[in-house]
Amino acid sequence: MMYRKNPASLMLLLLLLVLTALFSGCGSQDSASEGGYQVTDDQGTVVSFQEKPQRIVSLTMSTDNILLGLVKPERVVCANVLVDDPVSSNVVELGKDIPNKVRHPKVEEILAMEPDLVIAANWGDIDYVESLRNMGINVVVVKGAKNLPDIRDNIRLIAAAVGEPRRGDKLVSMMDDKLAEIKAKVDKIPQEARKRVLLISLMNNYGGKDCIYDDACTLAGVTNCLSEYGLKRGDKLTKEMMVQMNPDMIFLPTYNAHGTFDIQGFRDRYLKDPALQQMKAIQSGSIREPRDAYIYTASQDFCFAVQEIAYTVYGDEFKLADQQHLSAVE
């Protein structure tokens, strides 16, 4: 049996086909067909881009690392002053290609670089953020990472901001794969062989609960004496507490600010203090200096922080070369 075609029905079908063709290319990015996109930063600010930024300013070591895992240095006009310091940075060679390095720049200094994106962290004095935004500069604020999920969030946010979301996903996967590789080795360490470690940092209130270092210790198979004692991010470590903790091993800093800081004098304030000589770590000589470039990072290279701690405590099974850095840049 044949059915007679209804002209109105045919017109409706044709209209639906046209609309489907028009909207099938639309994705989650606004104005994708015009090359524009938007991101929402940690402060809830929606930042709009017409094209991928090519003159990016990064103001912290961790955002430097994340950024240099997502774009080539040619797109970065400024990074933290320590980005090319071999003691503090694991991206020294990449950092050498960045023309400006700053510590606490003034608004005028940032404006002079003519950035099309400034990446800032939500800690410290960030009054300059609003000033830059009022002058028409795109600023994306990321969280000060307290744990591994925060790092994943920051990687994806920065990747979205620079117009490279796929690289962000790839970078997170690379980090997670490396962490899984380390975990497989850590799981083989018997509980009775695991160590209790005390970090003595130049930042006297760093290293306890709610610090990314605490996550790194857990994943490396060591007990962080600071969090075990109950210290949280922001709590100060005293020498009396150190005696009570009585760790198996002590970590000392290596930072020297391009050779301008007397790091040995800082170490001696602890190692030569008569009140601390009863600690078993000092008595046994279990004093180590893990590389600052790794253990303080809050970037995709956090996996190397975990590996560095395990290497420092448990030896060559976790051996790690200098200047290791994960990058999704082809």
Q: What does the pLDDT average to over 7-23? A: 42
**What is the tens place of the pLDDT at every residue in 79-117?**
999 999 988 999 999 999 999 999 889 999 999 999 999
Residue 201 has pLDDT above 80, yes or no: yes
Confidence band (pLDDT; 50, 70, 90) for 34?
low
pLDDT given at position 267 = 94
pLDDT given at position 16 = 41
pLDDT given at position 246 = 98
Residue 31 has pLDDT above 90, yes or no: no
Q: Are 116 and 138 in contact (CB under 8 A)?
A: yes
pTM: 0.87
pLDDT given at position 22 = 37
Residue with tokens 């962490």: 179
Q: What does the pLDDT average to over 52-77? A: 97
pLDDT given at position 260 = 86
How does DSSP assign 188-244, residue by residue? TS-GGG--EEEE--SSTT-SSBTSHHHHHHHHHT-EEHHHHHT-BTTPPP-HHHHHH
Q: Which CATH architecture has domain 179-318?
A: 3-Layer(aba) Sandwich (3.40)
Q: What does the pLDDT average to over 294-313? A: 97
Classify 10 as helix, strand or coil: helix
Give the integer Cα–Cα distance in Å for 238 and 226.
11
24-28, 74-78, 105-109, 267-271: segment of lowest average pLDDT = 24-28
Nearest to 186 by CA among 314, 277, 66: 314
Residue 27 has pLDDT above 50, yes or no: no
Residue with tokens 């049996």: 1
Confidence band (pLDDT; 50, 70, 90) for 248?
very high
CATH 3.40.50.1980: which residues of the chain?
A: 32-164, 179-318
pLDDT given at position 233 = 87
Confidence band (pLDDT; 50, 70, 90) for 259?
confident
Q: What are phi and psi of 76, to 5 degrees?
A: -115, 120
Q: Are 283 and 248 in contact (CB under 8 A)?
A: no
Q: Which CATH architecture has domain 32-164?
A: 3-Layer(aba) Sandwich (3.40)
Q: What does the pLDDT average to over 110-125? A: 92
Nearest to 199 by CA among 90, 304, 88, 305: 305
